[in-house]
Amino acid sequence: MLLTLSDYQQQTQRLIGDVDQSKWNLADLTIYINLARAQVAAEGQCVRFLVPSAASIASITPGALGSGYTTAQVAIGLPDIAGVTATATANIVGGEILSYNLTNPGSGYMFPPLVTVTGNGTGATATAVKNYTLTANTEQEVYNFKDVPIPTLFPGAQAILAVLSVAVIWQNVRYVGNRLSFSKYQALIRSYTSGNFLYTPYWFSQYGQGVNGSFYLYPLPDQVYPMEWDSLLIPADLVDDTSIELIPYPWTDAVPFWAAWLALLANGDPARSTLADRYYNPTNGGIYGVMMKRARAFSQPSLVSSFYGRNIS
């Protein structure tokens, strides 16, 4: 059950005893709600996204326009992994191919595919522009979270909070990197200061923290490799009831209690301090803490081992 901003506002108003909005205005409550959502997402690690190594085609860009065309066929190369082959048609004006219509963007492309133009004319060329995917780039060691266009890739998200794992793809193999603390990475892995060792990356280490975070890869890539990041995200603020809510149920149940705690603290009424303490306190978490533990327990039930003797847990 996904909640809207109005849902959160109503729930928070009930908790603080202000259903008639006589003490708190909605603008302030919206700020508290969005702070609470960021808190729940970060503490609960409940907004997770696999930043992709493969994507669809965004557009076909004309190269040479050619001449003499009255008909033309456009062939786009096959996807790099299991997916759908993109298709396009050519727009011919005066014998030249001025543009292309992407009729199916396809899927599964790690690299821009080859585009071939045939027909009764000659000389036309085109290139495919792929939608954003992650790559480990030749001799690049440091990768910043903020360089990934998360709001575009995952509407409703604001930024990457942390990267849990990094997978580098070479041919048909996905290598999941061995994660080290930066101190260990610096002391034992990042040894060469010149003449860097180039190979398929295997170790990675987070350095920068939070939404301005970064991580290091080693060995430095000897070529461009598609990557996948298993990432924890911070959701974008809700501004109205059309905003996308990424926090899933049952984590949404915890949001109003943190927001109510913030509202009661901001009110400054000593008589309400006991109520605020019930909703959240650093010692036992209050009702907010109960809701967070409940969400974790509900969303990750115990596992049942294989009855056939082939489990790997």
Asked whether residue 107 is assigned to any structural domain, the reply reads: yes
Residue 104: domain span: 57-130
Asked whether residue 218 is assigned to any structural domain, the reply reads: yes
pLDDT of 80: 85
The amino acid present at 88, given as its one-letter code, is A
pLDDT of 205: 94
Q: Of 130, 155, 175, at which residue does a domain stop?
A: 130
Do residues 229 and 139 share a domain? Answer: yes
pLDDT of 311: 57
Asked whether residue 179 is assigned to any structural domain, the reply reads: yes
Do residues 66 and 112 share a domain? Answer: yes
Side-chain-side CA neighbours of residue 49 (13 Å): 27
The count of structural domains within the chain is 3
Q: Of 193, 212, 235, at which residue does a domain stop?
A: 235
pLDDT of 1: 66
Q: What is the pTM of this model?
A: 0.83
Q: Give Cα 122 distance to the centre of its chain.
A: 43
- 10-residue mean pLDDT profile of the chain (313 residues): values are 91 92 90 97 95 91 96 94 92 96 93 94 95 92 94 94 92 88 90 78 92 93 93 96 96 96 84 85 91 92 70 57
Please give the structure tokens belonging to residue 145.
């979270």
pLDDT of 54: 86
Asked whether residue 310 is assigned to any structural domain, the reply reads: no
Asked whether residue 307 is assigned to any structural domain, the reply reads: no
Do residues 81 and 143 share a domain? Answer: no
Selection from 296, 255, 209 nearest residue 39 by Cα: 255
Do residues 227 and 255 share a domain? Answer: no
pLDDT of 260: 95
Asked whether residue 242 is assigned to any structural domain, the reply reads: no
Do residues 138 and 126 share a domain? Answer: no
pLDDT of 313: 55
**Strands (DSSP E) along 112-270, which ranges?**
115-119, 126-130, 135-136, 142-144, 157-170, 173-176, 178-179, 198-199, 203-206, 214-218, 220-221, 225-235
Alpha-carbon distance 115 to 75, whole Å? 6
Alpha-carbon distance 264 to 35, whole Å? 14
pLDDT tens figures, 246-292: 999 999 999 999 999 999 988 777 767 788 899 998 888 899 999 99
Do residues 213 and 201 share a domain? Answer: yes
Do residues 107 and 159 share a domain? Answer: no
Alpha-carbon distance 168 to 181, whole Å? 19
pLDDT of 194: 67
Do residues 96 and 179 share a domain? Answer: no
Q: Of 82, 114, 130, at which residue does a domain stop?
A: 130
